[in-house]
Amino acid sequence: MNPETKLAHLKRLLTEYSDLVDTIGLLDWDMETYMPPGGSSGRGFQKATISRIAHLKLTSGEMGKLLEELISYEEELDPDSDDARLIRKANRLYKKKSKVPADLAADIAKATSDAYYVWVRARENSNFSEFQPALERILDLKRQLANCFQPFDHIYDPLLDDYEPGLKTADVQQIFASLRPEQVNLLQAITQRPQVDDSFLHQDFEEKAQWQFGVKVITDFGYDWNRGRQDLTAHPFTQDIGLGDVRITTRVMNDYLPSAFFSTTHESGHAIYSQGMDRNLDRTPLAQGASYAINESQSRMYENIIGRSRHFWLHYYPELQSLFPAQLSQVPLDMFYKAINKVKPSFIRVEADEATYNMHIMMRLELEIALLEGSLEVRDLPEAWNSSMHEYLGLTPPNDAMGVLQDVHWSQGYFGYFSTYALGNLIAAQLWERMEEDLPDVFEQIGRGQFSDLTAWMREKVHRHGAKYEPQELVQRITGSKIDQRPYMRYLTNKYTEIYQL
Amino acid sequence: MNPETKLAHLKRLLTEYSDLVDTIGLLDWDMETYMPPGGSSGRGFQKATISRIAHLKLTSGEMGKLLEELISYEEELDPDSDDARLIRKANRLYKKKSKVPADLAADIAKATSDAYYVWVRARENSNFSEFQPALERILDLKRQLANCFQPFDHIYDPLLDDYEPGLKTADVQQIFASLRPEQVNLLQAITQRPQVDDSFLHQDFEEKAQWQFGVKVITDFGYDWNRGRQDLTAHPFTQDIGLGDVRITTRVMNDYLPSAFFSTTHESGHAIYSQGMDRNLDRTPLAQGASYAINESQSRMYENIIGRSRHFWLHYYPELQSLFPAQLSQVPLDMFYKAINKVKPSFIRVEADEATYNMHIMMRLELEIALLEGSLEVRDLPEAWNSSMHEYLGLTPPNDAMGVLQDVHWSQGYFGYFSTYALGNLIAAQLWERMEEDLPDVFEQIGRGQFSDLTAWMREKVHRHGAKYEPQELVQRITGSKIDQRPYMRYLTNKYTEIYQL
């Protein structure tokens, strides 16, 4: 076989693998949206079976042999070509998956599946000790998993790499070390100023009108309904089922206006990313975000940089007022703008504002690393959590549910995931600064409800490439430097200096 | 390996196969309900990949070897045990699938997939000649398929067997030969009587109220919403995604009351069948109806024998009137009952009443057999159709869309399917007669809105067994005789003698 034939063969294997991954996407989406309760046991089996088959396809001897034979061919190709990047990506996936013994992978799947309901109950009872044995088991398995990838600089590296290909623990620590004092200073300055009133956001807002307003806005953003849809779920998410079918979900709270709107705009950012990928990448492992942080940069951008900007509301606030005249006609734009940007340290990450959000992440990274290194025992985690919470935000959680048990991630073995949220914030601001050089009037456009130039810019620079580049490489190509906290701090400082008159 | 270990191994392979089949069920359901248009190309690939993997699992050398080794073990088991029946069913499936060359299976998949849109356009244009080449190709492939199963009594046998395991063409021809003159006599008697007025069924009926009424009734029937749901689709269907998740769909016509109600009750019959299967059969090839006809017997029973009975409406008509007072308060029960049972020969099968429905089927069976035998050429099919239509129902279709192009089945290669609709009618009446011996007051119960005894009877005799027995065997076990047209003719004759005062 010549290399071209081998490459064609590789692509055939990868399309099958991608079809399986897309199918798992539908099994997941349906589970959260329309599956009747009686389907849950069967769904677990269906997902396990398809996942196992996908894993076997990816780690087959056939795949390994092809990839080995194609390595030298890849070096002859244009390094930026789809083919070269596909071979490289497939090689990376193959190596990451095939180094993990099947028994260990099965143990992790079982342990995290069991742990989910243990975590749900422990959170309901606000009792960490109920969850402790499950978490100890998961941590032990994740350590074993990391150790499959010896040698490494840090045991946390292989876990982080699942979410941020190529990024090292030391890189994130360095970024966060620079970020932390600046975030602390800004927060201190803000909290010394008078509080913002956002009580009017807590009124009765008709759900259908909320839904329609969100739909209108993301349609303007460029979300393509021909290749997507929106449904209601308990926790909003975006699900790709191939590039032609990118679905989002939201939740609508009758008594709190921002929830549905910012969920919808957030998820639309993820979805517009996927919808903007080059269709030639469909049914390959390149048809996904470059990393979790790059993906989050897009959702945060539409949610926060755009959706919480003054220019955005210059255009959309009159429309929102006309939908809810009783609730908003007496609320001036400035008051509304400040309310949706109110800063207040709080216990729960998912409710955090832009100025405190990264604090929640930085403390989680420290705890995760300490757990992996073994310098922190699981049984001591609640105490460490509370003391960290006090250190970062000056708050002490009243109970475990409001503290260490609030997030599902650890019950699912997602060690390495949290950082991507903060990195996404940083990257969003970094890309935005660079974009403003090319589109200096972008905020004026937003003030007229026009998003086509900015979406086109993101499509050209970010979206169309899918996962062809690793996150640091992509950010470097676009902005000229690696992931950097300074643009985000400039963005936050400018915004809050004006709002809080710092 | 001892036989018990081999059996456990077989079961493991079959659960994987069943998980794949259930997953295809979800891919299909989603395609008809919520998939955005942009997903259709990807969905085709996902279905093809999962189907190919399922086929390979079922026809693997490992499967074949296990089954061969387990044949003698099966003979030692209680022949009615789940294990014996599972081995037998798996063996049957394996033989049916493994005798078909992969190329032929792929050709059929491709040809039918292509033909669907050709048929849609040809029907739109009411022009059979546009569809003719595609149908010729499919017929040729289906003949090749049938010939993989030489020797046979009749070339139609292997095709029929896909829907009615164990049933022969000669069996169906014999049943229909007895049925036909009786149906013709009854229809002649009816058409000599004054026509029934059903014009009041064509008014404006609010869709939500129609939906709620259907939901109420099938909840009373025993449809389990914890293991199901109902959605809207262009063509109503029932989809199993495992025994814990049995979904139905309906369509609601604003200007014609019977459509939604009888769709919903029809599909609920299919679904109550699946929901009533022994849960031990889940994730095996026994977790399905014994055959298409047995499945149809359950849907026809809830739709017609129950849903079009006078006793049923004694209980439910006041409720329906209270939902639609403007439309129905002046319509007495007797008039309503006659209207929903009105007999009128018509062109379209899916709109046919109980007295003419089987005519549509009998003529299709004759045409299919003639096509397979080669005594009828595809190009002569429209003429044959029209002359057959005239012979059976005294009607000549005004065009191909109202005639030979009306049904999707042939474009999908479903030769052998149509008979199952008529056989389902016969079996429904046959089971019902037997049930009335055990539950002589069943219609009095229905008149009180009580269905638990009859559903329990069906569950015990039919539902719980899933596909353990072949259709003739199952009917014989329950009623003491094989499929027989006489109960259905007694049922029709009694009903219409009263309605039309024959």
Q: Can you read off the two tokens belonging to residue B424?
A: 């389902």
Q: Which residues of B touch A231 (CB under 8 A)?
A: 34
Nearest CB neighbour to B34, from listed A35, A36, A229: A229
The SS3 assignment for A1 reads coil
Q: What is the pLDDT of residue B263?
A: 97
CA distances A356 to A348, B56, B292, Å, are 10, 54, 61
Phi-psi region of A449 (alpha: psi -120 to 50; beta: other; left: phi over 0): left
Instruction: Kindly report the nearest CA distance between residue A36 and chain B, in angstroms.
Output: 6
Q: What is the pLDDT of residue A106?
A: 87
**For residue A230, what are the β-bridge partners?**
A248
Interface contact flag, A53 B49, Cβ < 8 Å: no
Query: B351: exposed, middle or buried (C-beta count within 10 Å: 0-12, 13-18, 19+)?
Result: middle
Instruction: Kindly report the nearest CA distance between residue B277 and chain A, in angstroms.
Output: 14
**What is the SS3 assignment for A77-90?**
CCCCCHHHHHHHHH
Residues in chain A: 502
Nearest CB neighbour to B30, from listed A26, A41, A283: A26
Chain B contact residues (CB < 8 Å to A):
15-16, 19-20, 22-23, 26-27, 30, 34-43, 45-46, 48-50, 53, 224-229, 231, 241-245, 247, 282-283
Interface contact flag, B226 A19, Cβ < 8 Å: no
Q: What is the pLDDT of residue A366?
A: 98
**CATH assignment, A199-347+428-473:** 1.10.1370.30
- Torsions phi, psi of A273, nearest 5? -60, -55
Q: What is the pLDDT of residue B113?
A: 87
Interface contact flag, B229 A36, Cβ < 8 Å: yes
Interface contact flag, B43 A15, Cβ < 8 Å: no
- The one-character DSSP state at B79 is T
Asked if B292 contacts B420 with a C-beta cutoff of 8 angstroms, the reply is: yes
Q: Which residues of A touch B232 (CB under 8 A)?
A: none
- Residue numbers in chain A where pLDDT is lower than 50: none
**What is the SS3 assignment for A198-235?**
CHHHCCCCCHHHHHHHHHHHHHHHCCCHHHCCEEECCC
Triad A234, B237, A45: Cα angle to 5°: 50
Query: What are the residue ranges of CATH 1.10.1370.30 in chain A?
Result: 199-347+428-473
Cβ neighbours around A143 below 10 Å, total: 16
- Could you give the ipTM of this predicted complex? 0.95
Q: What is the pLDDT of residue A247?
A: 98
Please tell me the distance from the alpha carbon of residue A31 to that of residue B178, in angstroms, as a whole number.
49
Q: Can you read off the two tokens belonging to residue B4?
A: 């018990």
Q: What is the pLDDT of residue A102?
A: 87
- C-alpha dihedral sign at B74, B80, B83, B85: positive
pLDDT tens per residue, chain B (502 residues)?
899 999 999 999 999 999 999 999 999 999 999 999 999 999 999 999 999 999 999 999 999 999 999 999 999 999 999 999 999 999 999 999 999 998 899 899 889 988 998 999 999 999 999 999 999 999 999 999 999 999 999 999 999 999 999 999 999 999 999 999 999 999 999 999 999 999 999 999 999 999 999 999 999 999 999 999 999 999 999 999 999 999 999 999 999 999 999 999 999 999 999 999 999 999 999 999 999 999 999 999 999 999 999 999 999 999 999 999 999 999 999 999 999 999 999 999 999 999 999 999 999 999 999 999 999 999 999 999 999 999 999 999 999 999 999 999 999 999 999 999 999 999 999 999 999 999 999 999 999 999 999 999 999 999 999 999 999 999 999 999 999 999 999 999 999 999 999 9
Asked if A257 contacts A243 with a C-beta cutoff of 8 angstroms, the reply is: no
CA distances A325 to A209, A309, A338, A385, A410, Å, are 12, 22, 19, 43, 43
Please tell me the distance from the alpha carbon of residue B26 to that of residue A23, in angstroms, as a whole number.
9
What would the pLDDT profile of A19-74 be if each residue is shown by its tens digit? 999 999 999 999 999 999 999 999 999 999 999 999 999 999 999 999 999 999 99
Asked if A337 contacts A490 with a C-beta cutoff of 8 angstroms, the reply is: no
Please tell me the distance from the alpha carbon of residue A205 to that of residue A254, in angstroms, as a whole number.
5
Long-range contacts of B369-376 (CB under 8 A, 24+ apart): B369/B154, B369/B156, B369/B169, B369/B173, B371/B139, B371/B415, B372/B139, B372/B142, B372/B143, B372/B146, B372/B155, B372/B156, B372/B159, B372/B415, B373/B155, B373/B156
Nearest CB neighbour to A283, from listed B30, B45, B227: B45
Q: Which residues of A touch B241 (CB under 8 A)?
A: 39, 42, 46
